[in-house]
A and B are shown apart, each in its own frame.
Chain A
Amino acid sequence: MTAPHPHRQEARAGGGSPSGPQLKGSPPPAPRASARAGRPPRPGRAHRVERWLGRHPLGLALTAPYTVFVLVVFAIPFGFGVWMAFHDYFFTAPGVSVPHPFVGFDNFTAVLGDGDTRRAFRNLGVFMAINIPLTVVLALSLAAALNSATRWRVFFRVSYYVPYVTASVATLAVWLFLFNGSGAVNHALGAWAPEPSWLANKHLVMPLIALYVTWKQLGFYVLLYLAALQNVPRELHEAALTDGAGRWQAFRAVTLPAVRPVTSLVILLSLITSGQIFTEPFLLTGGGPNGASLTPALLIYQRGLEQGEPDAAAAIGLILVTAVLILATISRRVMERN
């Protein structure tokens, strides 16, 4: 990276416009600038462009489509969403312009005072408490077993990954029919089948959704752990064993610390996915029974699009993102402390 400062001043001195011909026609400031910077006098136009835009200005053109799309699809909606959360925003007939007055934190207090919001966040808490530890333990155990297995490795790896590449809509249909009142699971359980059944049971519905998401994502995390385990030097593990450590001790002393960065990443990614839980409660239960499987993302959809309160929905979104961000920061601190 070069520091083009002198040239920026030069361009301003040359008439306020950095375009070529004008600069060429107004040499007086150039010697001053180049003398100060100790560069050869009267640099050519190409040289100037290079100072300004870097050695390959084409890079700007090549990244422009990406950058423009990011602005349109991410940055502007992001800003719009934050703006919405602090204003009185509602849908109007197309073409009608109405004022959207600034309301400060009104949307937030209204939303936080609502029982549904608190229920949705409580449900999310239940989801995370089940999903994240289960994901870490299962993914690490399977990856460790897979790492020391000699046969059928490809088969196991592939089968764990199949749920991950399959559409939620498709796999949810199976879970729905496995776990509904007259489904195969209750058939197998016989007299032990829960009453009311899984999806209608306010205590079981959120754990079931957490279990589904763990099942669906597990293959991805197994692969992440597998990559990390393959980088742990075998000698380290063997040294611990010859020093008289048991297998479990060796695992704790050598393997666990070695995969710590991946565990941190797995927790972070699970946290982010947790915040986005929408399709599962929407298709399995619609948020029921009686709000027992309502999640913040589902609530955003209901408030914003079904009930026509996009400002309230934006406020919930901002609260959700802040909460996830805080949890992510805490988890990173904890994971990096030892």
Chain B
Amino acid sequence: MARTLLRLLRYGALGLGAVAALLPFYYMLIGALQKKRDTSLGGLLPDPSNLTLANLSGIDDSFSLTTALLNSLIMTAGVVACTLVFGLLAGYALAILHFRGRGLVFALVLLVQAIPFQLLMIPLYVMVVRYFHLADSYAGMILPFAVNSVAVLIFRQYFLQIPREIFDAARMDGAGELRILRSVAVPLVRPAILTAMLVTFIGPWNEFLWPFLITKNPDMQPLAVSLANFSQANSTFQANPMGAVLAGACVLAVPAVVLFLLFQRHFTSANLGSAIKG
């Protein structure tokens, strides 16, 4: 009897948590499809006579959705590429190679995670915009995210798990370190590459603050920034301004959520844990 009650309680709590987590997404979808805003409780149910896709073209009138999506994509791809290359090289070196200063580099990797962005925001802005002249450019958007300590730690962790004998054998066979990295190490850590890609994809795709600071040209702004500006501008000339903003929110949310759902196995606590604890 007490056991059943406990079970009921457990699933009740889990269900409540799931509803709380997912309800706003349902509301995002319904709100994006409404012809006229309906905030009553009945409005939460889809009403066929009040459904439309017009909100999507509504935001497209204010800013080019395709341009914004493309900008988001370029920024994200740039960040992921840099993260993978730098992360693989540094992770491999830290796990497998003995070189002077290895301890120092590893300390740096951990230290970088501890530096808060608020302290860097203003000086980084001054440097990138005033000294490097990278305002309104992809390079400027990508730069602060190009090094990602989490990726280095993920790769280091994976390389450490590979038996050292594999690398020693390749060396005995006369392979140079670069050759070993390319033909032995990288193929062995394919799962880590996928994990690192997924984990680092979300950051730049969702990032608002930094691109908001350094892009003033609407043609260069990623979707998160365009959408925030659109939502701030109180686009009253829209038939359903809320619907338009929520439609944009869907466009921004869908790629990250879909990728996550497809690859959710890779977002296990073990991966996150190892990424954080190093």
**Contact residues in B for A159 (Cβ distance below 8 Å):** 17-18, 21-22
B97 lies within 8 A of A165 (CB)? no
The answer to whether the Cβ of A254 comes within 8 Å of any Cβ in the partner chain is no
Known A-B contacts A166-B253, A177-B246, A224-B272; the reply to A56 vs B99 at CB < 8 A is yes
The answer to whether the Cβ of A305 comes within 8 Å of any Cβ in the partner chain is yes
Interface flags, A167-190, vs B, CB<8A=1, else 0? 111110111111000111001100
A224 lies within 8 A of B112 (CB)? no
Known A-B contacts A52-B100, A155-B18, A317-B122; the reply to A169 vs B249 at CB < 8 A is yes
**Contact residues in B for A1 (Cβ distance below 8 Å):** 100, 102-103
B273 lies within 8 A of A58 (CB)? no
Interface flags, A304-331, vs B, CB<8A=1, else 0? 1100001001100110110010000000
A149 lies within 8 A of B10 (CB)? yes
B276 lies within 8 A of A145 (CB)? no
Picked from B130, B177, B228, B264, the residue with its CB within 8 Å of the CB of A161 is: B264
The answer to whether the Cβ of A73 comes within 8 Å of any Cβ in the partner chain is yes
The answer to whether the Cβ of B236 comes within 8 Å of any Cβ in the partner chain is no
Residue of A70, A78, A176 most packed against chain B (CB within 10 A): A70
Picked from B130, B146, B206, B257, the residue with its CB within 8 Å of the CB of A69 is: B146
The interface on chain B, measured as residues whose beta carbon lies within 8 A of the other chain's beta carbons, has a size of 94
Known A-B contacts A74-B115, A77-B120, A169-B208; the reply to A66 vs B90 at CB < 8 A is yes
B122 lies within 8 A of A81 (CB)? yes
Question: In the assembly, what is the distance between CA of A278 and CA of B122, in Å?
Answer: 14
The answer to whether the Cβ of B28 comes within 8 Å of any Cβ in the partner chain is yes
A interface bracket (residues with beta carbon within 8 Å of B): 35 or more
Interface flags, A121-141, vs B, CB<8A=1, else 0? 000000000000000001001
Known A-B contacts A158-B261, A313-B122; the reply to A167 vs B208 at CB < 8 A is yes
The answer to whether the Cβ of A259 comes within 8 Å of any Cβ in the partner chain is no
- Closest B residue to A229 by CB, please name it: B269
Question: In the assembly, what is the distance between CA of A1 and CA of B89, in Å?
Answer: 21
Known A-B contacts A77-B123, A94-B130, A224-B272; the reply to A145 vs B257 at CB < 8 A is no
Interface residues of A in 275-315 (CB under 8 A from B): 275-276, 278-279, 283, 296-297, 300-301, 304-305, 310, 313-314
The answer to whether the Cβ of B256 comes within 8 Å of any Cβ in the partner chain is yes
Interface residues of A in 1-41 (CB under 8 A from B): 1, 4
A279 lies within 8 A of B93 (CB)? no
Smallest CB–CB gap between A188 and chain B, Å? 6
Residue of B11, B122, B125 most packed against chain A (CB within 10 A): B122
**Contact residues in A for B121 (Cβ distance below 8 Å):** 297, 300-301, 304, 313, 317
B208 lies within 8 A of A310 (CB)? no
- Closest A residue to B42 by CB, please name it: A187
The answer to whether the Cβ of B196 comes within 8 Å of any Cβ in the partner chain is no
Interface residues of B in 176-223 (CB under 8 A from A): 177-178, 181, 202, 205-206, 208-209, 213
Smallest CB–CB gap between B221 and chain A, Å? 12
Instruction: Give 4 nearest A-B pairs by CB, closest first.
Output: A59-B99, A227-B269, A59-B97, A56-B97
